[in-house]
Structure formats: C-alpha cells, structure tokens
Amino acid sequence: MRGQKTPSSSSSSSSSWFSHFCSSALRTKPVNSPLDTVLVSRNSTDALVRRLGLLDLILIGVGASIGAGIFVVTGTVARDAGPGVTCSFILAGLSCVLNALCYAELASRLPAVVGGAYLYAYSAFNELTAFLVFGQLMIDYHIGAASIARSLASYVVTILEMFPVFKDNIPSWIGHGGEEFFGGTLSINLLAPFLLALLTVILCLGVGESSIVNSFMTVLKVIIVIIVIFVGAFEVDVSNWSPFAPHGVKEILTGATIVFFAYVGFDAVANSAEESRRPQRDLPLAIIGSLLICIALYIGVCLVITGMVPYYLLGEDAPLAEAFSSKGLKFVSILISIGAVAGLTTTLLVGLYVQSRLYLGLGRDGLLPSLFSKVHPTRHTPIHSQVWVGIVAGALGGLFNVHMLSHILSVGALTGCRQVILLFQHAS
C-alpha cells in the first residue's frame, strides 16, 4: 500500500541513519577551520574581545584553584598523613605540572579560541569523544558551582552572624545548610541562587568587569594566605613535625590523590584563549605560573598547620581556624573566614565563566542550538550561555545540599584531564 513502510525500507532507513551518525561522530575538527581563522583574526562580530593580559590569566588560574579548601583540606588530609601532607601536596602538584605542560603545549599549537579540553579532544580524536568530554566537564562544573555556592552562602552567613543584629536571626532556608524536605533529599536554600545570580550579572557585563572582580578577590585571598603563613610561622613547634609520616608512605600517597583536584584551575586559563591578548605566549606562561603559585601557597599552609598543632589534634571542620584559636590568635580566624569568602567567590566566578565559554564553543560547532553561539554586540560576552549556566547552577544550589552534590563532583574533571593527556600523546 502507498505510504506504508516495508521492512526493507525501514531497515534501509535505520542503516542510513546509523551511517550518518557514525560519519558525524567520527569526524574531527580541522586545526585551522575557517570559523576559527576568522575568530582569531578578530574580524568577526561573534568573536570575544581580547582584554586579558598575562597577569589577568595567572589570577584566573589562581582564582579557580585556591578556594576555601586551602583552609580546610590541608588540615583534614593532615589528620591521616600527618606532617607528610606537605609531600602529598608536592606529589599532587608535580603530577599536575605534567598535565599542565600538556595543556600549555596544546594551547600554543591550536587556534586561540574557546573550548579548552573539549577543543583539544575534537581536534585530536573525534566529535563524539569531544562531546563526551564536554558532558563530563559540565557534570563537574555545574555540580561544582552549586556546591561552592552552598558553601559560600554558609560562610557569608557566618560573617553576618558576627554582628549581634544577625546572631541567631537568620532562618535555615537562608543560612547554614537549608530547609530539608523528603528526608533530606531536598534542601532549600535561597541565598545560594541569589549569589549565583549576582555573579552571573557581573559576568554578563563583560570580561573586563569580571576580571577586575576576580583580580581583586584573588589578590585579597592570596594576601590573607600569606599573612596566615607568616603569623603561623612564629607559632610553629618543629617537634610537631616528628614523626613526619606517622602512618607510612601509603597515607601520603592516598592524600596526594585526594588533594589532586586542588590544582585543576589551569583548565580555566586554557578556556580564556579567545580573550587573551597574546594567547600563544601568555597561555603557557599563565598555566604553569598559576600552578606554581598554588603549589607554593599550599606547601606553606601545610607546614604551618602541622607545625602549630600536633596532627592528631587538628579539627575536621575548620582545622586552620581552630589551630590559630588555640594559640589565642582569634583575629586570624576572622581573616580566614574572609579569605574563605574571597576564595569561594573567585572559584565560583571563574567556574561560571568557563562553563559559558564551553557552551559557546559547542554552539559554534553545531553540537548545541545556535542560541548558545550568540555573543552580545556591545558587551562581547555569550550572555545566553552565561544565563543558562547560572540557571542550572542556581537550581541545583537551591535544591540540594553539599553532601548530595559532592558524590559525583570530581568525575568530570578527572576524565577531562585524562583525555587531555591521551590526546597530547596522540598529537605527539
């Protein structure tokens, strides 16, 4: 009958669809595609504006890497590794240096456009691999942004409660934790989405404005970390460093795997390629430079915290702040809270920034709707992508607590870094 599909025609249609899917999934992106050439030459109205210098890029990398974790993770890992936690951070840092060198090499070889690990995978492997890398990174970035926003909201409330007018007057659906429903499956918090909306607005204003905010907050937290190291150095008792590895080398190596993700901010630098003034020179320098700065700061904090208090007496929730309080230096605890807010703010700001640029890259390549490829004509930012990123993170941050979000937080980053190493080997 007319219009009725026969089994042979259905089979042919399925085979044709599968063949088209395979050909599309296995195609690679040319290193110098026509669109990338136009974007790099700055002759396109859809190109981002190149305003970021070397210092801006370094501060983006440091801002993405050093959050509140420098005041918490250092102490919590030290409870198991002892003073050897310093070696844990050194080992993790060295492994990240190797990964960062891959990023630096690829950043200098490929066109200076957005994409980062996604772009590298698309150029070296194929479209399907690149899309999977993007998906895994988005899992990490979306959930990470929501988790950081919840933590930031908690720290903001902690600072507000230092004033008597706010003490014990902030409801749970704004303050610490959240208002829980369905046995804790949902945890409503309105401050986290508000903070995400505020940072999204700043990012939509332009890369210059957001870079100023990031630079100010990053410099502030680095200064606070240096003050913490300097003040704590006078309270160090070297006898606390013995034994250096009380639980053996195994715990030091285990600690290195835990703290590895404290260094992955260099991916944010790679995604800033299209907004860098001199990407071929500045990107490799910023990737390596920001990583070395982070390694130095982490080592300094580790030596101080394990030297001030015996490792087995360190607290779990706020080990560094408790260590200073035990020495009668409560003003440093206040500085740590301020540094934590600055650290979480920059980590969240850079995370939202990177997400929007990844969506922009996929929109340009046709893997997402063209809406994501649009750049504002005057602000020169991908506003549609940026707003979408803010909405997704805001929904997750407003509905789920940190515990629920943290279960799958590091999956995307680990796989993305692994793909960069593999494609670097492939490209070489």
- As a whole number of angstroms, the distance between CA 171 and CA 196 comes to 19
Spell out the SS3 assignment of 306-323: HHHCCHHHCCCCCHHHHH
Cβ pair 77, 255 in contact under 8 A: yes
Per-residue confidence (pLDDT) for residue 34, from 0 to 100: 46
Per-residue confidence (pLDDT) for residue 184, from 0 to 100: 59
- As a whole number of angstroms, the distance between CA 77 and CA 61 comes to 23
The closest of 127, 187, 203 to 387, measured between CA atoms, is 203
Side chain identity, residue 260? F
Per-residue confidence (pLDDT) for residue 139, from 0 to 100: 81
Q: How far apart are the first and last CA of the chain?
A: 58
- As a whole number of angstroms, the distance between CA 13 and CA 9 comes to 6
Cβ pair 151, 68 in contact under 8 A: yes
Side chain identity, residue 344? L
Per-residue confidence (pLDDT) for residue 410, from 0 to 100: 47
Per-residue b or e along 27-66, where b marks 16 or more CB atoms closer than 10 Å to that residue's CB? eebeeebebbeebbeeeeebbbbbebebebbbbbbbbbbb
pLDDT tens by residue, 295-346: 999 999 999 989 998 888 887 667 777 788 888 887 888 888 888 888 889 9
Q: How many CB atoms lie within 10 A of CB 223?
A: 13
Strand partners, 188: 179
Q: What is the pTM of this model?
A: 0.82
Positions of the chain with pLDDT under 50: 1-3, 10, 34-38, 40-41, 410-412
